[in-house]
């Protein structure tokens, strides 16, 4: 049987970006001990059957694309095993990065996921390399959860739930727009068009960096710790703020100092982010494996006081949560139309990034990993996090997530634009210092009574 699924408005931004850069993302799981290769292969095979999109390849129509699944045949599963138990740490790090970005996933001929299993001293690292064209952070977390469950079930010879997770129609209009009144939809469309025009003429900037050709993406993982997380939570609760607003404030202040050091004049800071649409769906897509996030930007003035920045962030996120994020969905619809009609995807994507997006700093906060994954069979999970590619025009990306009450900051950076010392000394360490200073500042007492929990 042949099953076809449309490429959605949420897929298209990452499809076009994949024409410009390797769009691979990674789930990183470190385990104690060594996994059983045969059992892991069986667990992966079972888990992939749960998520239909991972059994598809991409096909072109006239000016659009669709996912194509032939249920009569099995797509090969790519699982590569590496023995790096005698590698020095620097060599191991290079190997792990090569696993992710040395080879882009070919969506037209292979599954949108592959697996690298690396043997290290006294442990195993599993990297699930997926494409951002098909997955977001929640999707990646869910796939890890399913593989761990299947592996544990095989290990103790018990059955596990492998029911299909799908919706009848993945079309973005059906999932997110069909229940919105027509007048509101029209308003969103006009607002989206006007915001694109405004973004073209606004002189916003991001982080000053060397204007050079894109280089390799490097990664720095920083443990912020349980104590700081508790302090940040207490601070934000007392003032009815969100952690995301605190991270954004810290980024603004650090970027302000960074640019000042390089003699860059003060301009509005355009900070790029991702926003989950899962809660807005007309269907239950909470565990669906697909892209359910949308890019958006936040504009912050370095001239604002801390109080004004946090005030703006609260109102901004509240406005997005109340439905204004759909304006961004219409923006992506406009971009996808432009991209599909363009004779050159790469040129169209680069032009939109340069003229409209502009910002080169991405800050996102997937938050707490939503699934309990303490063990992988009999193997204790030592560490678990994920990261995506640093998409253009980004030069640096900060991902905040929490695992076992430990707050971590994953920093991705373009090695041609920023050196490792610059990233560590001028960005990461100052952000950490600013957050520590902020939670110790008792003089700030901003309270916003009507704040609702945001999706960041």
Q: Is 395 helix (H, G, I), strand (E, B) or coil?
A: coil
- 7 lies in the same domain as 83: yes
Model confidence at 267, pLDDT cuts 50, 70, 90, reads confident
Residue 72's pLDDT is 83
Is 183 exposed, middle or buried, given 0-12, 13-18 or 19+ CB atoms closer than 10 A?
A: exposed
Residue 450 maps to a domain:
no
Is the Cα dihedral 346, 348, 349, 353 positive or negative? positive
Please tell me the predicted confidence (pLDDT) of residue 264.
Answer: 76
Structural domain that includes position 269: 178-439
260 and 378 together in one domain: yes
Q: Tokens representing 199?
A: 């973004």
Question: How many Cα atoms within 13 Å fall on the side-chain side of residue 424?
Answer: 9
Residues 17 and 123 in one domain: yes
Q: Identify which of 298, 211, 200 has the alpha carbon closest to the alpha carbon of residue 247.
A: 298
Residue 456 confidence (pLDDT): 30
| 454 is a domain residue | no
Burial class, 263, CB count within 10 angstroms (exposed 0-12 / middle 13-18 / buried 19+): exposed
Are residues 15 and 124 located together in one domain of the fold? Answer: yes
Percent of the chain with pLDDT strictly greater than 90? 79
Measured N-to-C along each axis, helices 429-439 and 243-261 cross at an angle, to the nearest 10 degrees, of 130
Length of the chain: 456
Pairing of strands 57-60, 2-6: unpaired
pLDDT tens track for 227-265 = 999 999 999 999 899 999 999 999 999 999 998 887 777
pLDDT over 90 at 266, yes or no = no
The confidence score (pLDDT) of residue 92 equals: 96
Residue 168 counted as domain residue: no
How is 152-195 classified by DSSP, letter by letter?
HHHHTT----------S---HIIIIITTS-HHHHHHHHHHHHHH
pLDDT of 272-330, one tens digit each?
999 999 999 989 999 999 999 999 999 999 999 999 999 999 999 999 999 999 999 99
pLDDT at 445 over 50: no
Distance CA 159, CA 297 (A): 45
Q: What does the alpha-carbon distance between residue 314 and residue 324 come to, in Å, rounded to a whole number?
A: 14
Residue finishing a domain among 90, 122, 155 = 155
Q: Is position 421 within any domain?
A: yes
- In degrees, rounded to 5, the angle at the alpha carbon of residue 139 between the alpha carbons of residues 137 and 142 is 110
Spatial distance between the Cα atoms of 224 and 406, rounded to a whole number of angstroms? 7
- Both 48 and 89 in one domain: the answer is yes
Taking only the tens place, the pLDDT of each residue in 323-370 is 999 999 999 999 999 999 998 989 999 999 999 998 999 999 988 888
Residue 66, domain member (yes or no) = yes
**Residue 291, C-beta contacts closer than 8 angstroms, at least 6 positions apart:** 8, 10, 11, 14, 132, 133, 134, 135, 136, 139
Q: Quick one: CA torsion of 46, 50, 55, 61, rounded to 10 degrees?
A: 180
| 353 plus 406 within the same structural domain | yes
Same domain for 247 and 150: no
Task: Say whether both 193 and 146 belong to one domain.
Answer: no
Residue 347 makes CB contacts below 8 A (sequence gap 6+) with none
Q: What is the pTM (predicted TM-score) of this model?
A: 0.92
Rounded CA-CA distance 315/302 in Å is 18
Task: Kindly state whether residues 185 and 142 are assigned to the same domain.
Answer: no
DSSP state of 292: -
Mean pLDDT of the chain: 91
122/260 same-domain check: no
CATH code of 88's domain:
3.30.559.10
Domain CATH code at residue 326: 3.30.559.30
One domain, residues 240 and 325? yes
Q: What is the C-alpha separation between 248 and 50, in angstroms, rounded?
A: 36
Q: In this structure, are 142 and 263 located in the same domain? A: no
321, 169 Cβ separation under 8 angstroms: no
Name residues whose C-beta falls within 8 Å of residue 421's C-beta, 6 or more positions apart in sequence: none
Percent composition of the chain: helix, strand, coil (DSSP 3-state, to 5)? 40, 25, 35
In a domain, 431, yes or no: yes
pLDDT exceeds 80 at position 156: no
Q: How far apart are CA 4 and CA 292, in angstroms?
A: 19
Q: What's the CA gap between 116 and 101, in Å, rounded?
A: 12
In a domain, 429, yes or no: yes
In the structure encoding, which two tokens stand for residue 133, read together?
Answer: 């064209």
**How many whole angstroms separate alpha carbon 357 and alpha carbon 163?**
40
Question: Which residue among 121, 155, 189 closes a domain?
Answer: 155
Residue 208 pLDDT grade (very low, low, confident, very high; cuts 50, 70, 90): confident
Could you read off the pLDDT of 44-72 as tens digits, one per residue?
999 999 999 999 999 999 888 999 998 88
pLDDT for residue 448: 38
Mean pLDDT across 405-426: 95
pLDDT at 262: 78
Evaluate whether residue 257 is within a structural domain.
Answer: yes
Q: What is the DSSP string of 22-91?
A: --EEEEEEEEES---HHHHHHHHHHHHTT-GGGG-EEEE-SS-EEEEEETTSPPP--EEEEE-TT--HHH
Q: What is the pLDDT of residues 90-145, one digit of tens each?
A: 999 999 999 999 999 999 999 999 999 999 999 999 999 999 999 999 999 999 99
Listed residue (107, 70, 11, 77) closest to 329, CA to CA: 11
Domains contained in the chain, number: 2
């Amino acid at each position: 049987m042949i099953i076809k699924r449309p490429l959605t408005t949420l897929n298209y931004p990452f499809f076009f970006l994949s024409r410009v850069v390797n769009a691979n993302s990674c789930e990183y799981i470190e385990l104690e001990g060594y996994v059983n290769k045969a059992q892991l292969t069986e667990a992966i095979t079972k888990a992939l059957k749960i998520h239909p999109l991972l059994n598809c390849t991409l096909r072109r129509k006239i000016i659009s694309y669709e996912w194509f699944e032939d249920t009569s045949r099995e797509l090969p599963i790519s699982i590569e095993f590496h023995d790096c138990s005698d590698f020095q740490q620097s060599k191991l790090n290079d190997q792990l990065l090569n696993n992710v970005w040395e080879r882009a996933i070919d969506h037209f001929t292979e599954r949108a996921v592959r697996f690298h299993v690396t043997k290290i001293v006294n442990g195993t690292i599993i990297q699930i390399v997926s494409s951002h064209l098909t997955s977001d952070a929640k999707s990646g977390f869910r796939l890890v959860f399913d593989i761990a469950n299947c592996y544990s079930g095989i290990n103790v010879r018990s059955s596990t739930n492998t029911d299909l997770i799908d919706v009848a129609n993945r079309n973005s209009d059906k999932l997110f727009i069909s229940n919105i009144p027509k007048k509101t939809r029209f308003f969103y469309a006009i607002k989206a068009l006007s915001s694109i025009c405004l973004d073209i003429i606004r002189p916003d900037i991001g982080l000053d960096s060397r204007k050079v050709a894109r280089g390799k993406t490097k990664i720095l993982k920083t443990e912020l710790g349980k104590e700081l997380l508790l302090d940040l939570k207490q601070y934000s609760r007392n003032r009815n703020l969100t952690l995301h607003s605190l991270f954004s404030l810290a980024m603004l202040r650090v970027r302000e100092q960074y640019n000042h050091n390089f003699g860059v004049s003060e301009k509005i800071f355009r900070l790029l982010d991702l926003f989950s649409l899962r809660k807005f769906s007309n269907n239950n897509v909470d565990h669906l494996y697909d892209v359910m996030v949308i890019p958006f930007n936040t504009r912050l003035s370095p001239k604002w006081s801390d109080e004004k920045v946090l005030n703006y962030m609260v109102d901004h996120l509240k406005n997005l949560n109340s439905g204004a994020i759909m304006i961004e969905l219409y923006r992506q619809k406009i971009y996808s139309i432009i991209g599909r009609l363009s004779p050159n995807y790469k040129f169209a994507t680069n032009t939109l990034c340069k003229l409209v997006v502009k910002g080169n700093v991405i800050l996102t906060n997937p938050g707490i990993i939503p699934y309990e994954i303490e063990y992988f069979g009999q193997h204790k999970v030592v560490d678990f996090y994920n990261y995506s590619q640093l998409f253009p025009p980004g030069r640096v990306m900060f991902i905040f997530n929490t695992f076992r009450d430990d707050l971590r900051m994953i920093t991705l950076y373009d090695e041609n634009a920023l050196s490792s010392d610059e990233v560590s000394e001028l960005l990461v360490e100052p952000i950490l210092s600013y957050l520590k200073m902020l939670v110790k500042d008792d003089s700030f007492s901003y309270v916003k009574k009507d704040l609702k929990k945001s999706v960041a």
